[in-house]
Chains A and B, each alone.
Chain A
């Protein structure tokens, strides 16, 4: 019994990790750099969509501040790797080697970012999840805005090792580039790390969904009053889902910050980005993990494919959202996973 459930947990993780390794090795030779970047973008968006699904899909709350937690995670991870690189290596070049020195600093940074983001989720979620659903939307929006203003007032990024060594922890924590953004982070994000974290996120989400805790989440979504009546501590569970989602968003932020071609800019981690993730969750089907994954894939590739029509992108998304809500409000897959769809069963 124990062995079977243990295998049930380890096996998907092992498969996922093996795939991540395969992708990493293929990246240099078999996949062109631009598609490597696209695959990384897809992976990051999958983590964002699946984690937001925990809040919007499983517990049926409406958060539109997800990008804020991504920002917290990204900046925190950036501080660790950027200033940490100066202190450890004297420069901000990517320290060579797989799973050594530099990589460990990076993963440590991402995990630190996740913890900080989860903490932020707790601070934001605990007071606001006691209120009605609509209010959560506004509070999360407001949180995102306050974060943006605060980030824009931070000091310039330190550029040399001497400056970093002399600076105290407080200075390092507030030298985040302000409105110019936090750029210059070493490019540690690669397919391996992205898909390792994607695997972890998916395994956690799926196992959560089919567990009793997951069922409790879903009961809150279906009818909060009834759930409360049968003994589910709705507030505590809502906060739990919120904190978990924020933590994963933090990891996505850390991965995002160290990806080639991206930089952290307070203006771009606001409600626009949050809406992008909300759209993925809604279109994929709130409550469906595979739905969120599918939507994340499609909505990452679509803007690149439609580059010529970029000004129509938002109107089309908006229209799609409205039509989806009127015609098929459960999204593409609804609550079901892709392997539960009727037409797939034989």
Chain B
């Protein structure tokens, strides 16, 4: 009978350990008079700038709204959890935010695979979640509590194709995408569809796996097809490396990318190789709109550098949430979600935001060019009506 006794004692030990761990990890409910919202992002790991920028934007919005008296008289408090760039941790973080910290709403994430993981939890518990920067269409399809304030990848691919055809006058394009990343694969797909529909030809599609350093095989093939422009949808780490090798192989065509390129590290890695390349983004700090100038100056004072698209989206997501919280009769999941869904023409830093019936944001995109190590504003492209 020894094993049985032991088994019981082990189980009890486990529960004791649980309780102990719980006490250490449990959070006190928000002090009366404040309301708690949650943010989960990649604060460490290989995409750490994504989470950190977004968090900065959110905190700036919170500081502003609290200075103006809070939402419905209550101060806003933020709880941020690091998901280390893993979907496993994203799910755990959102579960903890909702069930342990009892947040009213969740903001996050940037990477679509992480938004999918966290979003399912939020939907399960009926707490609204707004993703600042996830562009994969599947995210808002999870359910009626999941929203986003950025544009979708199908639109982004179309924007890049339009820019390539009309502004760069490109007839042929080659694509080099990351097959291990859904974002990269999706964007490549949408660009290809739009580009061919606009009369262009895709000369070749080559793939690499994220983390690869050697693209010589793929680039040699691309060079042989002599494209006018090369699409490199992916994150800034790979974009920099690809650019270096593209120029090393003597390819002169400009590179084209998406919002994943948006990071100060892009120029740090790419240096002269990335000069003269373009990418689509959510906003440019050089835009001459009052919301932009206001935000840029406040952010620069607080953090000493110009805000990137992710910080702007974090800022907009938080402010849109506060606006909805102000309009909602109560803050339970259904009422709050309804208020968010009714957002119309919200003046965001990243453009006028209207939440459509699919809980996505219909917005314009900007295209920027890398000049002197800075993304310089080129043009704005509106969505087709």
Classify A-B as touching or not with yes or no (CB < 8 A).
yes
Structural contact, A304 and B25, CB atoms closer than 8 A: yes
- Write out the residue numbers on chain B whose beta carbons fall within 8 Å of the beta carbon of A42: 14, 18
Structural contact, A261 and B182, CB atoms closer than 8 A: no
A183's contact among B8, B15, B96, B120, by CB below 8 Å, is which?
B120
Task: Report how far A298 CA is from B82 CA in the complex, Å.
Answer: 21
Structural contact, B113 and A179, CB atoms closer than 8 A: yes
Supposing A42-B14, A152-B180, A339-B2 touch, asked if A181 and B7 sit within 8 A by C-beta, the answer is no
Task: Report how far A301 CA is from B14 CA in the complex, Å.
Answer: 10
B168 adjacent to chain A (CB < 8 Å): no
Structural contact, A301 and B136, CB atoms closer than 8 A: no
- Write out the residue numbers on chain A whose beta carbons fall within 8 Å of the beta carbon of B8: 15, 19
Residue interface mask A60-93, B partner, CB < 8 A = 1: 0000000000000000000000000000000000
Structural contact, A263 and B87, CB atoms closer than 8 A: yes
Residue interface mask B103-121, A partner, CB < 8 A = 1: 0000000001100110011
A32 adjacent to chain B (CB < 8 Å): yes
Structural contact, B4 and A33, CB atoms closer than 8 A: no
Which partner residue on chain A sits nearest B10 by CB separation?
A293
Closest beta carbon of chain A to B252's beta carbon, Å: 32
- Write out the residue numbers on chain B whose beta carbons fall within 8 Å of the beta carbon of A261: 91-92, 94-95, 117, 120-121
Structural contact, B88 and A268, CB atoms closer than 8 A: yes
Structural contact, B10 and A290, CB atoms closer than 8 A: yes
Task: Report how far A203 CA is from B1 CA in the complex, Å.
Answer: 12
Structural contact, B182 and A38, CB atoms closer than 8 A: no
- Write out the residue numbers on chain A whose beta carbons fall within 8 Å of the beta carbon of B297: none
Closest beta carbon of chain A to B314's beta carbon, Å: 21
A329 adjacent to chain B (CB < 8 Å): no
A187 adjacent to chain B (CB < 8 Å): yes
B30 adjacent to chain A (CB < 8 Å): no
A24 adjacent to chain B (CB < 8 Å): no
**Residues of chain B from 170 to 193 with CB closer than 8 A to chain A in the complex:** 179-182, 185
Task: Report how far A259 CA is from B7 CA in the complex, Å.
Answer: 24
**Residues of chain B from 1 to 34 with CB closer than 8 A to chain A in the complex:** 1-11, 13-15, 17-18, 21-22, 24-25
Closest beta carbon of chain A to B181's beta carbon, Å: 6
A152's contact among B10, B87, B112, B179, by CB below 8 Å, is which?
B179
Structural contact, B22 and A297, CB atoms closer than 8 A: no
Structural contact, B87 and A301, CB atoms closer than 8 A: no
- Write out the residue numbers on chain B whose beta carbons fall within 8 Å of the beta carbon of A37: 92, 95, 99
Structural contact, B18 and A301, CB atoms closer than 8 A: yes
A163 adjacent to chain B (CB < 8 Å): no
A171 adjacent to chain B (CB < 8 Å): no
Structural contact, A337 and B91, CB atoms closer than 8 A: no
Residue interface mask A296-311, B partner, CB < 8 A = 1: 0110011011010011
Structural contact, B18 and A39, CB atoms closer than 8 A: yes
B24's contact among A199, A202, A294, A305, by CB below 8 Å, is which?
A305
- Write out the residue numbers on chain A whose beta carbons fall within 8 Å of the beta carbon of B209: 149, 152
A179's contact among B82, B92, B182, by CB below 8 Å, is which?
B182
Residue interface mask B60-73, A partner, CB < 8 A = 1: 00000000000000
Is chain B's binding surface mostly helix, strand, loop or mixed? helix
Structural contact, A180 and B10, CB atoms closer than 8 A: no
Which partner residue on chain B sits nearest A183 by CB separation?
B116
B13's contact among A39, A294, A311, by CB below 8 Å, is which?
A294
Which partner residue on chain B sits nearest A264 by CB separation?
B87
- Write out the residue numbers on chain A whose beta carbons fall within 8 Å of the beta carbon of B138: 180
Which partner residue on chain A sits nearest B186 by CB separation?
A180
A159 adjacent to chain B (CB < 8 Å): yes
Structural contact, B3 and A206, CB atoms closer than 8 A: yes
Supposing A12-B4, A338-B6 touch, asked if A265 and B18 sit within 8 A by C-beta, the answer is no
- Write out the residue numbers on chain B whose beta carbons fall within 8 Å of the beta carbon of A178: 182, 185
Structural contact, A263 and B120, CB atoms closer than 8 A: yes
B117's contact among A12, A183, A206, by CB below 8 Å, is which?
A183
- Write out the residue numbers on chain A whose beta carbons fall within 8 Å of the beta carbon of B220: none
Structural contact, B87 and A307, CB atoms closer than 8 A: no
Residue interface mask A314-346, B partner, CB < 8 A = 1: 000000000000000000000001110000000
Structural contact, A35 and B11, CB atoms closer than 8 A: no
Structural contact, B136 and A19, CB atoms closer than 8 A: no
Structural contact, B181 and A184, CB atoms closer than 8 A: no
B84 adjacent to chain A (CB < 8 Å): yes
Structural contact, A260 and B124, CB atoms closer than 8 A: yes
Structural contact, B18 and A38, CB atoms closer than 8 A: yes
A34 adjacent to chain B (CB < 8 Å): yes
Structural contact, B25 and A307, CB atoms closer than 8 A: yes
B141 adjacent to chain A (CB < 8 Å): yes
Task: Report how far A9 CA is from B11 CA in the complex, Å.
Answer: 18
A33's contact among B5, B22, B99, by CB below 8 Å, is which?
B99
Structural contact, B22 and A35, CB atoms closer than 8 A: yes
Supposing A39-B18, A301-B21 touch, asked if A265 and B6 sit within 8 A by C-beta, the answer is no
Structural contact, B7 and A179, CB atoms closer than 8 A: no
- Write out the residue numbers on chain A whose beta carbons fall within 8 Å of the beta carbon of B112: 180
- Write out the residue numbers on chain B whose beta carbons fall within 8 Å of the beta carbon of A207: 3
Supposing A34-B95, A38-B18 touch, asked if A11 and B1 sit within 8 A by C-beta, the answer is yes
- Write out the residue numbers on chain A whose beta carbons fall within 8 Å of the beta carbon of B142: 184
Supposing A261-B95, A267-B180, A310-B44 touch, asked if A179 and B185 sit within 8 A by C-beta, the answer is yes
Structural contact, B86 and A339, CB atoms closer than 8 A: no
Closest beta carbon of chain B to A227's beta carbon, Å: 25
B87's contact among A202, A268, A290, A293, by CB below 8 Å, is which?
A268
Task: Report how far A181 CA is from B182 CA in the complex, Å.
Answer: 9
Supposing A260-B95, A262-B91 touch, asked if A179 and B117 sit within 8 A by C-beta, the answer is no
Closest beta carbon of chain A to B11's beta carbon, Å: 6
Closest beta carbon of chain A to B85's beta carbon, Å: 9
Residue interface mask B74-92, A partner, CB < 8 A = 1: 0000000110101110011
Task: Report how far A159 CA is from B180 CA in the complex, Å.
Answer: 21
Structural contact, A260 and B44, CB atoms closer than 8 A: no
Closest beta carbon of chain B to A318's beta carbon, Å: 16
Which partner residue on chain B sits nearest A14 by CB separation?
B4
A183-B120, A305-B24 known, 18 other contacts, Cβ within 8 Å: A19-B8, A34-B96, A35-B22, A39-B14, A152-B180, A152-B209, A179-B181, A181-B87, A183-B87, A261-B91, A262-B91, A262-B92, A262-B117, A265-B88, A290-B6, A298-B17, A338-B6, A338-B10
19 example contacts (A-B, Cβ-Cβ < 8 A) are as follows: A11-B1, A34-B100, A35-B22, A39-B18, A42-B18, A152-B179, A180-B138, A183-B117, A183-B120, A261-B91, A265-B86, A267-B180, A298-B17, A301-B17, A305-B21, A305-B24, A305-B25, A338-B10, A339-B6
Would you list the 9 A-B pairs with minimal beta carbon distance, nearest first? A261-B91, A180-B182, A301-B21, A33-B99, A34-B99, A261-B95, A34-B100, A12-B4, A339-B6
